[in-house]
């Protein structure tokens, strides 16, 4: 049996872009991943398909996995010869109990590594505009926890010394419930009750909120604003720099809740673009794409003398080349053929295989493709290889034949209905979305099929429905959806641009 190994790693403060490269590499190879509440669950999208994912945090209404049980799981999985990733929020050795887990592994001679992460305090500092240090204002920084071990006979925090420190940033981890007692202790020990204090909730996430109050008003602020964990609290002169230095909460889509209905394996780039603008992205895939195996001889089809090969989606490109390579063929089959694509993203996908599209319509729609082909007299008498999915009606193929073209269809992928993600539905029921994004007619049809007509209509009655193009928009109209917008440029970039136009008016 192979020797197992445990990586005790920091997932960063929340934003998935703040994970370190080394932890990300281990995430992709781990056989088992143990994660808790403070590790962003979207990181699990990057693990192996067969990785075992074990939640060891605390969730309301669910069984709580104790620290002792967590350590036992780490030991058991490692002894089975598996690569185990213990994924912790922030840095595993800053109030993360990573040292306890490492000590337990060492006692059993289990191989481990500790990978540092961007700490919660560092992330909250950068994303809120509250520097931990400043050349002219702050020369030292101290991290304290509001929740010391209950096994201690007395607190190890030297409160009197802390209260008398000047030119210092005090970063308090956790402690939403304890904060009023802490600030009262500071005031009792001589700190100015009117001194500013900043509470950063959900730091580095699109739901981040920064509250600035005074030591004496902390309890009132927590109650009035319903401040809930996780929080990081700062007592520091640099709070005065927030208005000058804050940037994250000024992003164009900051705080907006956007639902993606496209297939999970197609959503990554769009999801990242939306996150880059500050949006909360809820993945509610309604479709999944799988390869079709044609019931024809591929060599016979490919070898015919086509004038044009037409791709209208990234899926078509991806699955066509997978089929091509699996049959021992490659891009040399295109040497005497012209190639048309719809959209820059489809063209880019094709270019990744070393092929440059000969034609892309000005507007990224099937209608524009046909109109421009007809205008250039490129249809009548021409032979076309149409790379497509399993959709019932194909506007491109129908119009090419109508105008005198000879069309060979090659189906390379199928669109299936995805399984319902209960956690995403629960999240939407708790708090409605600002926008739903639909990238094809099938995402619309499956959304209504999966949710039921009434529930789907109810969700969309409270939100914007953004369609990637007019065909998708018409399907939404058929379903009675009223608040519809269409991306001017029918691409992921066009979707983001349209959202920014709508929500920054």
pLDDT at 351: 95
- Lowest model confidence (mean pLDDT) among 124-138, 227-241, 411-425, 448-462: 411-425
Cα 178 off chain centre by: 32
Mean pLDDT, residues 252-262: 96
Name the CATH architecture for the domain at 257-286+420-503: 3-Layer(aba) Sandwich (3.40)
Q: For all residues of the chain together, what is the average pLDDT?
A: 93
pLDDT in tens, 468-490: 999 899 999 999 999 999 999 88
pLDDT at 150: 75
Superfamily classification of domain 5-118: Tetrapyrrole methylase, N-terminal domain (3.40.1010.10)
pLDDT in tens, 344-377: 899 999 999 999 999 999 988 899 999 999 999 9
For residues 275 and 17, the answer to whether their CB atoms sit within 8 Å is yes
pLDDT at 147: 80
Q: Per-residue pLDDT for 61 more than 90?
A: no
pLDDT at 175: 81
Q: Per-residue pLDDT for 151 more than 90?
A: no
pLDDT in tens, 402-448: 999 999 999 999 999 998 888 888 888 888 899 999 999 999 999 99
What is the percent of the chain with per-residue pLDDT over 70, rounded to a whole number? 99
pLDDT at 300: 85
Kindly give, in sequence order, each residue whose CB lies less than 8 Å from that of residue 349, ignoring residues fewer than 6 positions away: 314, 317, 318
Q: Per-residue pLDDT for 63 more than 80?
A: no
For 122-249, CATH gives 3.30.950.10
pLDDT at 62: 59
Cα 226 off chain centre by: 26
pLDDT at 381: 96
Rounded to whole angstroms, the Cα distance separating 176 from 199 reads: 9
Rounded to whole angstroms, the Cα distance separating 257 from 249 reads: 14
For residues 477 and 484, the answer to whether their CB atoms sit within 8 Å is yes
Transcribe 79-133 into DSSP letters: HTT-EEEEEESB-TTSSS-HHHHHHHHHHTT-EEEEE----HHHHHHHHHT--S-
Rounded to whole angstroms, the Cα distance separating 55 from 65 reads: 8
Active site residue 42: no
pLDDT at 463: 96
Mean pLDDT, residues 130-150: 92
The active-site residue, picked from 75, 82, 174, 394, is 174
User: What does the buried/exposed string (b/e) look like for 276-292 if buried means 16 or more CB atoms within 10 Å of the residue's CB?
Assistant: ebbbbbbbbbbbbbebb
pLDDT at 43: 95
Rounded to whole angstroms, the Cα distance separating 147 from 173 reads: 8
pLDDT at 153: 77
Q: How confident is the model at residue 204 (pLDDT cuts 50, 70, 90)?
A: very high
Active site residue 445: no
Q: Is 161 helix (H, G, I), strand (E, B) or coil?
A: helix
Active site residue 45: no
The active-site residue, picked from 15, 31, 36, 91, is 36
The answer to whether domain 257-286+420-503 and domain 290-417 are alike in fold is: yes
pLDDT at 375: 95
Tokens for 489?
A: 């440029």
Q: Which of 180, 226, 261 is nearest to 463 (CA)?
A: 261
pLDDT in tens, 84-107: 999 999 999 999 899 999 999 999
pLDDT at 422: 83
Query: How do the domains of the chain map onto residue ranges?
Result: 5-118, 122-249, 257-286+420-503, 290-417
Rounded to whole angstroms, the Cα distance separating 436 from 444 reads: 10
Please state, in angstroms and as integers, the Cα–Cα distance from residue 433 to each residue in 40, 397, 428, 430, following that order.
20, 37, 6, 10
- Positions of E strands within 135-268: 140-145, 168-173, 196-201, 209-214, 231-235, 257-260
Mean pLDDT, residues 266-279: 92
For 290-417, CATH gives 3.40.50.10090
Mean pLDDT, residues 125-140: 97
pLDDT in tens, 283-308: 999 999 999 987 778 888 888 999 99
User: What does the buried/exposed string (b/e) look like for 221-235 if buried means 16 or more CB atoms within 10 Å of the residue's CB?
Assistant: bbeeeebeebbbbbb
7 vs 290, higher pLDDT:
7
pLDDT in tens, 206-240: 999 999 999 999 999 999 999 999 999 999 999 99
* Exposure on the CB side of residue 411, measured as CA atoms within 13 A: 16
Q: Which of 131, 142, 120, 133 is nearest to 242 (CA)?
A: 131
pLDDT at 299: 84
The active-site residue, picked from 41, 42, 48, 58, is 58
What is the percent of the chain with per-residue pLDDT over 90, rounded to a whole number? 80
Mean pLDDT, residues 109-120: 97
Rounded to whole angstroms, the Cα distance separating 275 from 296 reads: 43
pLDDT in tens, 161-179: 999 999 999 999 988 889 9
């Amino acid at each position: 049996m192979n020797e197992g190994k445990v990586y005790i790693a920091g997932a960063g403060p929340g934003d998935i872009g703040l994970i370190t490269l080394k932890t990300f590499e281990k995430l992709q190879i781990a056989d088992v991943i143990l994660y808790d509440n403070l590790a962003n669950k979207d990181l699990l999208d990057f693990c192996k398909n067969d990785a075992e994912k074990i939640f060891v945090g605390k969730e309301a209404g669910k069984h709580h996995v104790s620290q002792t049980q967590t350590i036992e799981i780490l030991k058991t999985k490692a002894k089975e010869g598996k690569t185990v990733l213990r994924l912790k929020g922030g840095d595993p050795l800053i109030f993360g109990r990573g040292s306890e887990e490492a000590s337990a592994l060492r006692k059993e001679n289990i191989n481990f590594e500790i990978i540092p992460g961007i700490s919660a305090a560092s992330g909250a500092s950068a994303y809120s505009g509250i520097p931990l240090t400043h050349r002219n204002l702050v020369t030292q920084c101290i991290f304290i926890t509001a929740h010391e071990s209950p096994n201690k006979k007395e607190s190890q925090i030297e409160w009197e010394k802390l209260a008398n420190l000047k030119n210092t940033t005090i970063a308090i981890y956790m402690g939403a419930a304890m904060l009023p007692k802490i600030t009262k202790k500071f005031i009792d020990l001589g700190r100015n009750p009117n001194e500013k204090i900043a509470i950063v909730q959900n730091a580095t996430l699109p739901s981040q909120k920064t509250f600035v109050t005074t030591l004496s008003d902390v309890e009132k602020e927590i109650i009035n604003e319903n401040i809930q964990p996780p929080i990081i609290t700062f007592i520091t002169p640099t709070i005065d720099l927030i208005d000058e230095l804050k940037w994250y909460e000024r992003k164009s889509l900051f705080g907006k809740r956007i639902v993606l209905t496209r297939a999970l394996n197609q959503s990554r780039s769009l999801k990242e673009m939306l996150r880059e603008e500050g949006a909360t992205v809820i993945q509610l895939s309604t479709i999944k794409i799988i390869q079709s195996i044609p019931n024809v001889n591929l060599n016979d089809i490919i070898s015919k003398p086509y004038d044009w090969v037409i791709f209208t989606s990234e899926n078509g490109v991806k699955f066509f080349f997978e089929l091509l390579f699996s049959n021992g063929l490659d891009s040399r089959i295109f040497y005497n053929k012209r190639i048309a694509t719809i959209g820059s993203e489809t063209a880019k996908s094709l270019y990744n295989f070393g092929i440059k599209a000969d034609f892309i319509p000005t507007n990224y729609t099937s209608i524009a493709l046909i109109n421009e082909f007809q205008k250039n007299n490129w249809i009548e008498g021409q032979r076309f290889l149409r790379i497509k999915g399993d959709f019932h009606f194909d506007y491109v193929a129908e119009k090419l034949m109508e105008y005198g073209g000879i069309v060979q269809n090659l189906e390379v992928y199928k669109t299936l209905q995805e399984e319902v993600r209960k956690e995403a539905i629960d999240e939407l029921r708790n708090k409605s979305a600002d926008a739903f994004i639909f990238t094809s007619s099938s995402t619309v049809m499956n959304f209504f099929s999966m949710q039921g007509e009434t529930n789907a209509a109810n969700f969309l009655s409270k939100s914007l429905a953004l369609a990637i193009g007019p065909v998708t928009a018409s399907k939404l109209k058929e379903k009675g959806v009223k608040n519809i917008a269409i991306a001017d440029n029918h691409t992921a970039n066009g979707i983001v641009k349209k959202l920014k136009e709508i929500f920054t008016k």
